[in-house]
Amino acid sequence: MTTLVTGGAGYIGAHTVRALKNASRDVVVLDTLERGNKQAVLGTKLIVGDIADQKLVAKICRKYKVAEVVHFAAYKAVGESMTSPMKYWQNNVSSTLKLLETLQAQNISRFVFSSSASVYGTPKTSPTTENESTNPESVYAETKLAVENILKSLTAGGLNSVSLRYFNAAGASSDNKIGEDWTTSQNLIPRVMRALLDDKFKFEVFGNDYKTPDGTCIRDYIHVEDLAVAHVKALEYLESARNTLVCNIGTGNGTSVTQLLEMAEEVAKRKVPHTIGARRAGDPVSVYADATLARKVLNWQSTHDLRSIIESAYNWHSTHPNGYR
């Protein structure tokens, strides 16, 4: 029995491939490598190809006796989704439909999906539970919600699934072997690390006049290794569950941009050069998870704190300024 990981050569996928192998699962990765790196899978069987290639996916399922799928493959840049919406609908939704059709034909009934807290838009309440109404504010978030809804509708046909709504994935592996590429990532922590390590890079805080204790936006940063383990737990859950579950994966702690900068300065033992700019359109003030459901139903909770996230990111970026290249 094998676990197929789509997008397993990407940032979160690569950490999850490792976690699955640590949990004694056989893994095969399918990735176009358009936005991933073959080094990231650390020797795991990698097939370079597209999830929409139905012949290829069917062949992989038969050859490796695939029994379950963890589906990361997608585009994830919010800004790009607004300027190239068709690209996002096509890859994140249409290609996922093709994948699901193939899996159904192969009688594969366990599916874990990378959803996102962005489906909440600007939540009315933080910490945010899964009962919060969804209100996607980007095409990217719309595509994630669309796949969640598709999965719900497919349960009746026998496809059981868990959609994990990730908050802000961050950090690198504790042994410094895999991490995020700051040349392609638009996430906050890689940008803070770049400001520390690359003199030419300018880091800007988007607004310090929000209604938060220090005026900067609050987010829930979750260590990528904790996030990876959540997928193992979701697959374990699906061994007996016959339904569709939607579940937040976050720490439950809100961290402001200022608190994050202070921690980065403590870890690096120097100031993070930065400027304070204007608010960025569409940035919610405060988003952090209520992770009770994950604890109760998946038996999962985060183990790394903010220091551990920043230390692992700092180790990774200071030794891999060009990512895997």
Name the site residues for ligand NAD (rule: CB under 6 A). 6-7, 9-13, 30-36, 50-52, 72-74, 76, 91, 95, 114, 116, 166, 168-169
What is the amino acid identity at position 185? S
Q: Is 166 a catalytic residue?
A: no
Taking the complex as a whole, the smallest distance from the CB of residue 201 to ligand NAD amounts, in Å, to 20
What distance in Å separates the CA atoms of residue 157 and residue 105, rounded to the nearest whole number? 11
Active-site choice (11, 88, 120, 140): 140
User: Which of 12/267 has CB closer to ligand NAD?
Assistant: 12
What distance in Å separates the CA atoms of residue 60 and residue 297, rounded to the nearest whole number? 31
Question: Do the beta carbons of residue 20 and residue 58 sit within 8 Å?
Answer: no
User: Which of 172/200 has CB closer to ligand NAD?
Assistant: 172
Taking the complex as a whole, the smallest distance from the CB of residue 107 to ligand NAD amounts, in Å, to 22
Burial of 153 from C-beta contacts in 10 A (0-12 / 13-18 / 19+): exposed
User: Which of 34/239 has CB closer to ligand NAD?
Assistant: 34
**Other residues' Cβ atoms within 10 Å of the Cβ of residue 308:** 17
User: Which of 6/134 has CB closer to ligand NAD?
Assistant: 6
**Other residues' Cβ atoms within 10 Å of the Cβ of residue 204:** 13
Taking the complex as a whole, the smallest distance from the CB of residue 299 to ligand NAD amounts, in Å, to 21
Taking the complex as a whole, the smallest distance from the CB of residue 48 to ligand NAD amounts, in Å, to 9
Taking the complex as a whole, the smallest distance from the CB of residue 70 to ligand NAD amounts, in Å, to 10
Strands 2-6 and 221-223: unpaired
User: Which of 59/208 has CB closer to ligand NAD?
Assistant: 59
The tokens describing 8, both together, are 């397993």
Taking the complex as a whole, the smallest distance from the CB of residue 187 to ligand NAD amounts, in Å, to 6
**Other residues' Cβ atoms within 10 Å of the Cβ of residue 240:** 7
User: Which of 47/208 has CB closer to ligand NAD?
Assistant: 47
Taking the complex as a whole, the smallest distance from the CB of residue 18 to ligand NAD amounts, in Å, to 13
User: Which of 127/250 has CB closer to ligand NAD?
Assistant: 250
With CB atoms as reference, the residue minimizing the distance to ligand NAD is: 10
Catalytic positions, written as ranges: 140
